[in-house]
Structure 1
């Protein structure tokens, strides 16, 4: 019987699939770190006080990338190139979601609208990241190799999601509510398509590495399509709601370090 736990365990127990999984994850986290660092450097003068939280977000993402690389190093593995069809971050950019890298590479200050776009994009993607890490924490919190990393990253992703809720509500109260809701909906609908495509690509690559029989590969693909159908019908709405988080100012302090990994 296929289950999330058995699937992840199979991936974690094989060096080649584990290396591919960690390489994809490390690349995405490192890219997120760069994006947040650039946004922090380009915030408009009216939001300079907000820059430290954006920088903290980026520092956390960089830390996660180092953790995934350290997990590979611990098993004597080297990172592999990330297949383009599994590059979640770049595929989102190609769909026009978030801030274009061309804009982030320039030295022109961002606008408040750009910051709202960044936060809406982050609120949607951090929802996905928080859910994925909670699933891994549920099944692998006590795993001897990845348990400690899973718990640390999961806590950070929950903080990132809380930060997005709080800051978007701040901008909504300042008069940007309609723009926020419109951008959230656009981001959510695009993200679920990209997530489906990336999930299919990752499972196809894992299937080749692990030698999955065709019936298993077909069943997994069908499951991914079923999740997309649910998200397209109604599930995307969880990504666009806003509520004040229980933990306020989640990114108000300095980034936590991970000396045992980095």
Structure 2
């Protein structure tokens, strides 16, 4: 039976598909680590109290990148170049979502609106990451090779999502609600398109590596398109709602190390 679990199991069991999956994931996490580190360094004076949380977010992303690289090393694998069409973070930036790298590479302080833009972008993308990790945790939490990594990363993504809710609600209370909602909506609608395109490209690469028949690839592509249609019709709204999280001050401490994995 073709299912999400069977597809991921097939990717996990084959060295080349596993290497590509981990390389794509590690690259995206490392990029997120760099972005958060730059944002933490450039926050405006009025938001300096937020800088340690942004740094913690970046440290978590760096850790996740090391975890994916460590998973490859344990199987004697080296990372491979990430195909551009599967580069989620780069494609989002090209859509104008989040803060441009040119801005982050400069040494000019960010504005409060820039910080809100960053948080709105994170609210949307962390929802995607948290949802993906919930699925992987359901299937592979007890897997001898990847189970610990899946549980650790899932815990961190839940923290990141809680943090974005809490901080955006704080800014909304300060009168930034309309800008937050406009930015969240724009981010969500762009993200669902990019996620669909990246998913189609990634599955095409996996199908080539694993020798999937045309019919199987077509069914998977149809499933991805169906998910996009659902999200375009209204599923995107789960990415823009804000509520007080159960986890308060989720990024108020140091990043959790992962010495056994990294």
Q: Give your verdict on TM over 0.5.
A: yes
State the match for 1:168 in structure 2: 168
**Residues 14-51 of structure 1: per-residue CA shift (max 9 Å, x gap):** 00000000000000000000000000000000001110
Shift of 1:165: 0.2
Aligned counterpart, 2:64 = 64
Equivalent position of 1:254 in the other structure: 254
Three-state SS of the structure 2 residue aligned to 1:200 is helix
Q: Provide Cα deviations, 1:191-250, integer angstroms capped at 9, x if missing partner.
A: 000000000000000000000000000000000000000000010000000000011000
Q: Aligned partners of 2:48, 2:150: CA distance in 1, in Å?
A: 32
Q: RMSD value over aligned CA atoms?
A: 0.3
> 1:261: Cα distance to partner?
1.0
Q: Which position in structure 1 is the counterpart of 2:99? A: 99
- Tell me what 1:46 maps to: 46
Query: Residue in 1 aligned with 2:17?
Result: 17
| Shift, 1:134, TM fit | 0.5
The 2-side partners of 1:247 and 1:153 are apart by 16
Partner of 2:139: 139
State the alpha-carbon separation in 2 of the partners of residues 120 and 2 from structure 1: 35
Q: Work out the CA distance in 1 between the residues paired with 2:74 and 2:200.
A: 28
Q: Distance in 2 between matches of 1:34 and 1:170?
A: 25
Which position in structure 1 is the counterpart of 2:7?
Answer: 7
Q: Which residue of 1 aligns with 2:79?
A: 79
Q: Which residue of 2 aligns with 1:233?
A: 233
The aligned residue for residue 121 of structure 1 is 121
Distance in 2 between residues matched to 1:144 and 1:248, nearest whole Å = 32
Pairwise mapping of residues 180-199 of structure 1 onto structure 2 (< 5 A)?
180-199=180-199
Deviation >4 Å, runs of 4+: none
Q: Residue 92 of structure 1: CA displacement?
A: 0.1
Following superposition, the deviation at residue 162 of structure 1 comes to 0.2
Distance (whole Å) between structure 1 residues aligned to residue 242 and residue 196 of structure 2: 24
Deviations 1:66-106 (A, max 9, x none): 00000000000000000000000000000000000000000
- Count of aligned positions: 262
Gap regions ≥5 residues in structure 1: none
Partner Cα separation in structure 2 for residue 2 and residue 152 of structure 1? 27
Q: 1:217 is matched with which residue?
A: 217
TM score, norm. by length of structure 1: 1.00
> What is the CA–CA distance in structure 1 between the aligned matches of 2:108 and 2:96, rounded to whole Å?
19
* Alignment match, 2:207: 207
Q: Which runs of 5+ in 2 are unaligned?
A: none
Cα distance in 2 for residues equivalent to 1:55 and 1:6:
37
Q: Secondary structure at the match of 2:261?
A: coil
**C-alpha distance in structure 1 between counterparts of 2:247 and 2:91, whole Å:** 31
TM-score by length of 2: 1.00
